[in-house]
Amino acid sequence: MKTLVIYDSRYGNTERIAKAIGEAVGGEVTVLSVGEADASELKSFELLFVGSPTHGGRASEPMRDLLKQVEAPALEGIKVAAFDTRLSTRWVGIFGFAAGRIAKSLKKKSGTLIGSPEAFYVEGGKGPLKEGELERAAAWAKEIVQSAT
C-alpha cells in the first residue's frame, strides 16, 4: 500500500512519532515534513497519516495552511488517519486538540477516516516524549494498516 506520513514538528517530538509510524507501516512509505509536502500530490497515495503538535488547541499553522490547500474531493478514495502530540494535563483539554481537527479536515476533503484520531504524549512543552510513546505509535500505525486492507 502506497503510504504518506506528513507531519509538522516544533521540537522534534512529532517528527519522531511520524518516523516511528513510517517504519511500522513498512512497504512503500514516504515520510515528509509539512514544508516538503505538496497538496497536489496527495491523491497519488492510498493511505495518508497527518500529524501535528497541538498548539492552542489546534494543529500548527503550517499544517493548517497545507490542509487549506487540499480541495474537496481531492482525498476521495484515500484512507486517512490523524495524530498529534500533546501534554497530558487536564487544563489543556479545554482548548481541544490537533488530531480531531485534522481528522475533521481530512474527512471534509473526502478522505475515508480509518480509526480514531490518536494522541501521543510529551512530558513538557518541549518534550521529551513520554516513555513508550514511540512503541505505541508503531502499534497504532500497524492497526491502521490492518484496517486499511
Q: Which of 77, 141, 69, 67 is nearest to 106 (CA)?
A: 67
Is the Cβ–Cβ distance between 101 and 60 less than 8 Å?
no
Is the Cβ–Cβ distance between 49 and 84 less than 8 Å?
no
Instruction: Name the DSSP letter for residue 35.
Output: T
Output the domain CATH number for residue 22. 3.40.50.360
For residues 88-111, give the mean pLDDT.
84
Number of domains in the chain: 1
pLDDT surpasses 60 at 93: no
Write out pLDDT tens, residues 121-136.
999 888 899 999 999 9
pLDDT at 96: 76
The residues facing 6 across adjacent strands are: 32, 50
Which domain, by its residues, includes 138? 3-148
pTM of the model: 0.95
Write out pLDDT tens, residues 2-55.
999 999 999 999 999 999 999 999 899 999 999 999 999 999 999 999 999 998
